Amino acid sequence: MDQCDLLEVRQTPEGWLIDIDVEADEEAAWDEFDDGSGWMGALAGLRQELLSGDLRLLYLGWLWAVQLGYIREEALEPLPGIGPLTPSQQALAEFMALDPMLVEAAAESGEKAPAGSEVEGFVASFPLQEKDALLRRLLEDDGSVIAELQRCLRQHGQADQPPRRSVAELKIQANASNERHRQAYLAEKARREAEQAAAEEKQRRERLAQVARLGERAWQEALSQIGRRQPKGYETAAGLLADLSELAIERGEQAAFEERLDRIVAEHRRKGRFLEQLQRLGLLP
């Protein structure tokens, strides 16, 4: 990361300064201009998290360099994963335009919230004298006590850390995550399409049943709609005739239907809009 100057940590008279250089692609910047409003509130929690010993902010900076190709394939991740991100860390990942699949792969391993038994063990391991000192500092309104305790709790739970993965391994996991999401998307798309097809088929059957009940009146309604000499009437008439065609096929009466349709076409051969509707529905070549 030293060579790409994406992340710099330096000491100032006021404290430590972490500078993450996130430069958007110039062409993309024109396509998606962001004036930065709203980001400061979303990212504000990062400082307190860092003070409490949560170093995953730095991991995200490293992941940004991985995404840009600055980190060699065999390099190991700086932490054994990042686990579930906090809202501020998630906002930072979005601000940096990190690949969601790469972030998901990194989060498959790493820090998790300590269990109740771990917290109890940590508290029990504290010497009484140190507990008294911490209580005094709390009463004296020392704001750094909470962050210090959280750092100690993290260190207390670092005994069983998973092994660190290489950049190549992270990319393999990211590709696997991408494939899982793709398969899930395709499955959901197929489910929605099947539901839509079933609903459309149900509507079609109900419509055909209604036309069947009308019988001869369906033919008369089609002629009435043609007689209106309006585009909407032609569309309605053609739809009725298409339904009558389907019913005729189901009943084995296709020849009689085609004979009657031919008479209607001959009678209204000058109505080009009507004939176009019949062609659209496959009733005319």
Confidence of residue 32 (pLDDT cuts 50, 70, 90): low
- Residue 32: DSSP 8-state: S
Q: CA separation (Å) from 268 to 41, 195, 228, 272, 275? A: 69, 39, 12, 9, 8
Over residues 218-235, mean pLDDT: 91
Q: Tens digit of pLDDT for each residue in 107-141?
A: 887 555 555 556 666 666 777 777 667 677 766 66
Which residues neighbour 200 within 8 Å (Cβ) at sequence distance 6 or greater? none
Averaged pLDDT score across all residues of the chain: 82
Closest CA relative to residue 66, chosen from 163, 22, 162, 1? 1
Cα 66 from Cα 98, distance rounded (Å): 10
Specify the pTM: 0.59
Contact in structure between 81 and 107 (CB atoms under 8 Å): yes
Contact in structure between 202 and 244 (CB atoms under 8 Å): no
For the chain, the 3-state helix, strand and coil shares in percent, each to the nearest 5, are: 65, 5, 30
